[in-house]
């Protein structure tokens, strides 16, 4: 079938930022990277001539394709449609039907997209850290979901944002113990699950701790203002990480969830995640079958929300800007093609 979305940008003026071979000394930033052109080759999949290069340090050759997200893919045209569908509350099975792909193919593409999203996001966070940090006002909270069975295998997802822009700083997914009380049949199923997987324990504290540590790495120096609900584990993790720098505001989680609620930014972010991620929709068979795949899906949507999706900053400007753009991590709101095109984040100019 014809795909309405294609990863087609110009490679004509591409300059390799470093040697793609990790074992090469020229792969490290800040080291000399001498290179030269080494002809072209014809790419059958789209009929384009691809420029080749040679690293003069390790003498290995590579091409512009080596730096692209669709490197060595037999079906490169399916990357972008899968990204669009993954952020449109579309299940894997429905994606396969829409684009005439197998469900396993869609699952593999989501793994690729998640790897790309994490690499891209980490690179931009390190840029923010080098410039002094993301900001000083943050919120975080947890949402609940499940894998396979709502009562027997629940999950918790911890999400942290920068308040002014809604930029998602960190996400984490961990297990929760089975929800009691259980019916007789459910107790028997749980016993069989525990015989294979072991007793299911709460990973909420670990997820919160990793989230707070991420805030500590990328927050600006000086006072840090964090707003959460009144869960006790939040206080412990925040005080351990920030000490005297912390100004912690605690809001009753039972308070009405309107735009007058101080927790509205994080509540709105979690609501949007449930709207975009099919695995987070309540009471459907689209729920995650594996915790790792839910984490992958949230990572994909995090990249979409931070760098591709937009909101209008000023009514007079009549243009949508991304959260990363407002924070100075990007000079423009990326199109899906731009965001997905390069495997190495260094290839995409800010």
Tell me the pLDDT tens digit for each residue of 243-260. 999 999 999 988 888 888
Burial class (CB in 10 A: 0-12, 13-18, 19+), 21: middle
In the predicted structure, residue 318 carries a pLDDT above the cut 70: no
Q: Alpha-carbon torsion 270, 172, 331, 264, what sign?
A: positive
Confidence class for position 316, pLDDT limits 50, 70, 90: low
As given in the structure block, the two tokens for residue 211 are 């989230």
Residue 2 has what pLDDT? 46
Instruction: Quick: pLDDT tens for 75-105.
Output: 989 999 999 999 999 999 999 999 999 999 9
Residue 190 has what pLDDT? 93
Compute the mean pLDDT over every residue in the chain, rounded to the nearest whole number. 91
- 113 or 8, which is more confident: 113
In the predicted structure, residue 8 carries a pLDDT above the cut 80: no
- Distance, CA of 339 to CA of 343 (rounded, Å): 9
Instruction: Quick: pLDDT tens for 35-90.
Output: 999 999 998 877 888 899 999 999 999 999 999 998 999 898 999 999 999 999 99
Whether pTM exceeds 0.85: yes
Residue 188 has what pLDDT? 93
Give the list of residues 6+ apart from residue 152 with CB closer than 8 angstroms, or none: 178, 179, 182, 186, 189, 190, 193, 200
Residue 1 has what pLDDT? 45
**Domains of the chain by start residue, with CATH:** 134-274 (3.30.420)
Pairing of strands 61-63, 137-146: unpaired
In the predicted structure, residue 315 carries a pLDDT above the cut 90: no
In 202-345, the DSSP E strands lie at 224-229, 246-251, 311-312, 320-321
- Distance, CA of 268 to CA of 214 (rounded, Å): 21
Instruction: Quick: pLDDT tens for 13-24.
Output: 788 999 999 999
Question: DSSP state, 16?
Answer: -
Rg, C-alpha atoms of the chain = 22
Pairing of strands 224-229, 137-146: parallel
Q: Alpha-carbon torsion 148, 81, 51, 64, what sign?
A: negative
Indicate left, alpha or beta for 340 from its phi (over 0: left) and psi (-120 to 50: alpha). alpha
Give the list of residues 6+ apart from residue 20 with CB closer than 8 angstroms, or none: 27, 62, 66, 67, 344
Look-up: residue for tokens 């709105």?
Answer: 268
């Amino acid at each position: 079938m014809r795909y309405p979305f294609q990863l087609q940008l110009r490679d004509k003026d591409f300059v390799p930022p470093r040697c793609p071979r990790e074992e090469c000394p020229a792969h490290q930033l800040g080291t000399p990277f001498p290179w030269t052109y080494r002809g072209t080759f014809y790419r059958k999949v789209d009929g384009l001539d691809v420029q080749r290069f040679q690293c003069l340090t390790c003498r290995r050759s590579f091409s512009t394709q080596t730096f692209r997200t669709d490197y060595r893919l037999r079906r490169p045209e399916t990357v972008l449609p899968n990204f669009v569908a993954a952020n449109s509350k579309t299940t894997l099975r429905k994606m396969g039907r829409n684009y005439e792909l197998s469900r396993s193919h869609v699952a593999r593409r989501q793994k690729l997209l998640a790897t790309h999203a994490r690499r891209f996001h980490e690179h931009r966070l390190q840029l923010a850290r080098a410039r002094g940090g993301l900001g000083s006002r943050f919120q975080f909270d947890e949402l609940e979901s499940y894998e396979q069975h709502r009562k027997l295998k629940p999950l918790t997802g911890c999400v942290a944002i920068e308040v002014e822009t809604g930029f998602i700083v960190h996400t984490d997914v961990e297990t929760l113990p089975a929800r009691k009380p259980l019916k007789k049949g459910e107790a028997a199923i749980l016993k069989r699950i525990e015989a294979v997987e072991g007793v299911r324990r709460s990973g909420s504290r670990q997820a919160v701790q990793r989230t707070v540590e991420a805030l500590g790495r990328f927050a600006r120096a000086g006072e840090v203002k964090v707003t959460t609900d009144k869960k006790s584990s939040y206080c412990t993790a925040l005080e351990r990480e920030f000490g005297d720098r912390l100004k912690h505001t605690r809001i009753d989680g039972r308070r009405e969830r309107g735009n007058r609620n101080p927790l509205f930014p994080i509540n709105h972010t979690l609501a949007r995640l449930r709207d975009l991620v099919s695995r987070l929709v309540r009471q459907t068979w689209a729920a995650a079958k594996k915790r790792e795949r839910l984490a992958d899906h949230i990572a994909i949507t995090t990249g979409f929300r931070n760098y591709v999706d937009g909101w209008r900053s000023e009514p007079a400007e009549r243009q949508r800007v991304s959260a990363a753009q407002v924070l100075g991590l990007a000079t423009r709101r990326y199109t899906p093609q731009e965001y997905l095109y390069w495997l190495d984040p260094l290839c995409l100019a800010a």
